[in-house]
Amino acid sequence: MNPLPARTRLSTETRQAEIVDAVLDLSDTVGPGAITTVDIARNLGLTQGAVFKHFPTKDAIWLAVMGWVESHLLSALDAVATAAPTPLEGLQAVFMKHARFVAKHPGVPRLIFNELQKPKDTPVKRRARSMQESYRKLLMRLLAEAEKRGEVAAGLDREGAATLFIGALQGLMFQAMLASSTAKLEAEAKRVFSLYLNALREPS
């Protein structure tokens, strides 16, 4: 009748990271909409109640996961963008890095799709939107620099070009989720980016 001794005892900080990690995994295997706190607990070897020692609500977990995505994805994209010798190569590096990130973490697009399916403007959605805004800024910087250097058409619709850039990647995610596989994502991304580059050239 007495509770068994706690298996392991870790700091909230560590457990939170473990929980985020578990959710990322489960997002791919179970699907975000079907993840329960029992699933998460079992994944960590804990009881269900223990999860609530580290997050007040389930929603708080989703928000933390979104935070993980924001920091990891954006910093990776920033890194490859600034490492590239030219703006156009920067765009390509960002495009491919993003594609590879999604292929490596298929739980992430699933997670976001699950959020977008809700009509309300949830905190998680707001966070995703702010992430996309930072992303746009990065793209606009690269596009402006490319235009200055004459690598793309003068007078290019840069806002539209940024929308198409992100949109093309989101479309590739969509198609990967539809195929229930990210196997072909990277190859498709390569072809699509070639076409994208063509769209930035001087109109004839």
Partner DNA sequence: CCAGTTAGTAAGTGTTCAATTACTTACCAG
Partner DNA sequence: CTGGTAAGTAATTGAACACTTACTAACTGG
Note the residues at the interface with a second copy (CB under 8 A).
28-34, 110-111, 113-114, 116-121, 125, 128-129, 132, 157, 159-161, 163-164, 166-175, 177-180, 188, 191-192, 194-196, 198-204
Q: Which of 149, 33, 39, 30 is nearest to 86 (CA)?
A: 149
By beta-carbon proximity to DNA, the closer residue of 111 and 146 is 111
Angle between helices 12-29 and 37-44 (to 10 degrees): 110
Q: What is the dihedral of CA 65, 106, 72, 43, to 10 degrees?
A: 50
Interface residue with DNA, options 49, 85, 119, 150 (CB under 7 A): 49
Residue 143, both tokens = 């596009």
By beta-carbon proximity to DNA, the closer residue of 33 and 171 is 33
By beta-carbon proximity to a second copy, the closer residue of 48 and 163 is 163
Residue with tokens 């990690």: 21
Residue 171 CB: number of other CB atoms within 10 A? 13
Q: Which does 9 bind (CB under 5 to 8 A by kind): DNA, a second copy, none?
A: DNA
**Shortest approach of DNA to residue 176 CB, angstroms?**
26
**Shortest approach of DNA to residue 23 CB, angstroms?**
11
122 contacts 115 by C-beta, under 8 angstroms: yes
Q: Which does 15 bind (CB under 5 to 8 A by kind): DNA, a second copy, none?
A: DNA
Nearest-Å Rg of the Cα atoms of the chain is 20
d(CA 77, CA 98): 7
Residue 161, both tokens = 């070009």
Q: Can residue 29 be called a binding residue for DNA (CB under 7 A)? A: no
Q: Can residue 4 be called a binding residue for DNA (CB under 7 A)? A: yes
Per CB under 7 A, residues contacting DNA are 1-12, 15, 34-38, 41, 45-50, 52-54, 56-59
